[in-house]
Amino acid sequence: MANNLIHLALTEDIGTGDVTSNACVPADRRATGVFLAREQLVLAGTEVLAEIYDDLELNHCDGDALAANTVIATVQGTARDFLKYERTALNFLQRLSGVATLARQFAEAVAHTNCQILDTRKTTPGFRQLEKSAAACGGVTNHRMGLYDAILIKNNHISAAGGVTEAITAARTSAMPIEIEVRTESELDEALAANADHLLLDNLTPEEAKQWIAKINKRAKVELSGGITLDTVAAYAETGADFVSVGAITHSARAVDISFKLDLA
């Protein structure tokens, strides 16, 4: 999947050819290229560099915390190729390292608790495998990859199934662990009575979450979600929740500052 995505990105950018480089740069001119972290970051996406460049020397691995002005990798080849691939390579590296960097910040914010940070399916279409890999490099736990590998009954499933008990009872036929979102205390009571394995509590305050978790009393795993930020995640983790899920790790991560410098060989 990643290979297909890289090919698509290169085709999108290069099209019928890099007319600027072809016009200005001799075809046989050799060069050295350096990828440089321009700010503090957590590295991710080096697998993309390995797919694009034949002669690649990596100085660091995915998951490494890098200081500003750290050389990430060096490549050897023709100047035309480097100019042709530069923007695509940086787009991947900056985006994925941004995801890993934000993930690390969330993981560190709850390191004093027993709570794990989960990512979500709120990913860039087509980038899910790469973005979830980057999130894991940052130190968070991957939630389900898609609709096919875990059961998560949300509010619209409950409505469509006819209720909490009906949804859980029907889902039991799958033999998979069952996670269900509950929105009210009555739904919480019903889910516990139906022996749900994993409860998703959405849009509660930390104080409300603490009260609900005390009521659950370890009868099910508890996940909190809903607008949780770096400023508030520690308070949610300290409620006794097993998990906090954060969509922002993949849908709102900032592309970090990485540059590519070409020098003639």
Domain range 2-107+254-264, its CATH number among 3.40.1080.10, 3.90.1170.20, 3.50.50.60, 3.40.50.970 = 3.90.1170.20
For the segment 201-211, what is each residue's pLDDT rounded down to a tens digit? 999 999 999 99
Which DSSP string corresponds to 223-259? EEESS--TTTHHHHHTTT-SEEE-THHHHSPPPP-EE
Every domain of the chain and the residues it spans: 2-107+254-264, 141-245
Which residues carry out catalysis? 87, 122, 154, 181, 202
- Tens of pLDDT along the chain (265 residues) come to 678 999 999 999 999 999 999 999 999 999 999 999 999 999 999 999 999 999 999 999 999 999 999 999 999 999 999 999 999 999 999 999 999 999 999 999 999 999 999 999 999 999 999 999 999 999 999 999 999 999 999 999 999 999 999 999 999 999 888 899 999 999 999 999 999 999 999 999 999 999 999 999 999 999 999 999 999 999 999 999 999 999 999 999 999 999 999 999 7
SS3 content of the chain, % helix, strand, coil (to 5): 45, 20, 35
CATH fold of 141-245 reads: TIM Barrel (3.20.20)
88-103 CB burial, b ≥16 within 10 A, e <16: bbbebbbbbbbbbbbb
Contact (Cβ atoms closer than 8 angstroms) between residue 92 and residue 9: yes
Residues present in the chain in total: 265
- Residues 6 or more apart in contact with residue 120 via CB below 8 angstroms: 143, 225, 245, 246, 247, 249, 250
Task: Judge if 2-107+254-264 and 141-245 fold alike in CATH terms.
Answer: no
Helices 128-138 and 79-109 meet at what angle, rounded to 10?
50
